[in-house]
Amino acid sequence: MVGTIGVFDAVGLTDPALYLSCASYITPEGSYITAGTLPKGAAEWKGMARQVIEGVLRPRWLGGVPRKLGAVTALEPSDLWKISELVANVSIKPIVDSVHSFDREGVMGAYERLMTKRAVGKVVVRVADEYARGNK
């Protein structure tokens, strides 16, 4: 079977739609991992509760999601290094929708792209380009 072995949702989406449909794009042995803070407001709590019910409490034979669900609420510095190594080795591939500069025009463009709710992947604002190149 060709497919993705896992999804790491770095935003911590509380809308359960992405997880509930993950069986169509994650291999059977794969996992869906979400990261982020606790939900804010009733709608976000409801979405998170549905993810837990469908992914953990509801058996697969009763229609539960047949993929592992994991959550991360805090990362240790060593975890961040491991993730950066995985990206560098192309073991995981971040999906980037667009990259914007760290000026008023760039930041506003990034915000506008996010607000369309049509971004596919992460909307990046490049903050420290000079530091990455070693110029400072």
Tens digit of each residue's pLDDT (9 = 90 or more) over 88-116 = 888 777 788 999 999 899 999 998 998 88
Task: Give pTM, 2 decimals.
Answer: 0.53
In this prediction, the residues of the chain whose per-residue pLDDT falls under 50 are 1-2
Q: Which of 105, 104, 135, 109 is nearest to 124 (CA)?
A: 109
Q: Is 52 helix (H, G, I), strand (E, B) or coil?
A: helix
Q: What's the pLDDT score for residue 18?
A: 78
Q: How many residues does the chain have?
A: 136
